[in-house]
Each structure stands twice: as C-alpha cells, then as structure tokens.
Amino acid sequence: MRALAVMSLAYALVAMIALGPGGLLAAAPSSIAGALAAKGQKVFRRHCAQCHGNQGGGYIGPAVIGVDAELASYHTAQGLLQYVSTAMPQTAPGSLDERQYLQVVAYLLVQNGYIEKGAALGMDNLAEIPIE
C-alpha cells in the first residue's frame, strides 16, 4: 500500500516536471496584447495561413494583415472577434476554442497596428478597441 502511494506521488512529480515551469503558467490567462498575439501567430499559421497567406497578405481568402486588409467594417476588435469566431476557419467555423479566437484576433490587431503590444487586452475591453 505504502509503496503504491509513493509510486503515485512519484508519477505526479514526474508529470509536473514534464509540464515545466511554463506549463502551468501557459494555462493562466494573459491580458497583454503582445503575449496573446505571440500565441495567436501560431494559431494563425496552423488554422488560417493556408487561405490568408503566411503573413496574412491574402491567398485564397482576402488579406487580413497589411495595406490590403480591409477590416474597418468590423468597427471594433469585438466585431472582428465576433466575425472570426463564427465564420472562420471558413471550412470549419467555430471549431477553435474561445482562447484561440482571442489570441488570433490579438495577432491581427497587433500586426495591423490597432493595438500596442504592451496594452491590456481581454474579452472585457475588445469593444473599446476601434478598427478604422
């Protein structure tokens, strides 16, 4: 019995070490635009780039980053999130989780200069970030 308890503890420790210092932190919500955007870039590369281009300059789908991107019709970051989270990826709308949508929208906001990297960003202030 005692040996079993020691074994379980050892397994738990190994699991914690395997996660690493970033493992638990990574699960915590971040509200700095630049940090969200860094994760958002990975989401973009994986789920969006095949249609919008690696740099977001457009391919099968329209440009979403840069001079050719026309996002003003979404008015605010909230409008953009609303659209992206219900319509994208076009082949599987709504298939990412809420966090991933926030991250990828943060990436678009930072890349297009709608928000500073160091600014606070979260679900609570998306409506206050204009896109024009």
| Contact footprint for ligand HEC (CB under 6 A) | 47-48, 50-52, 60-62, 64, 70, 84, 88-91, 104
Q: How far is the CB of 88 from ligand HEC (least distance, A)?
A: 4
Closest to ligand HEC by CB, 82 vs 125, is: 82
Tell me which H or E stretch contains 105.
helix 98-111
Closest to ligand HEC by CB, 39 vs 52, is: 52
Measured between alpha carbons, how far is 4 from 12 in angstroms, rounded to an integer? 12
Closest to ligand HEC by CB, 35 vs 63, is: 63
5 torsion bin: left (phi>0), alpha (psi -120 to 50), beta (else): alpha
Q: Reduced to 3 states, what is the DSSP secondary structure of residue 11? A: helix
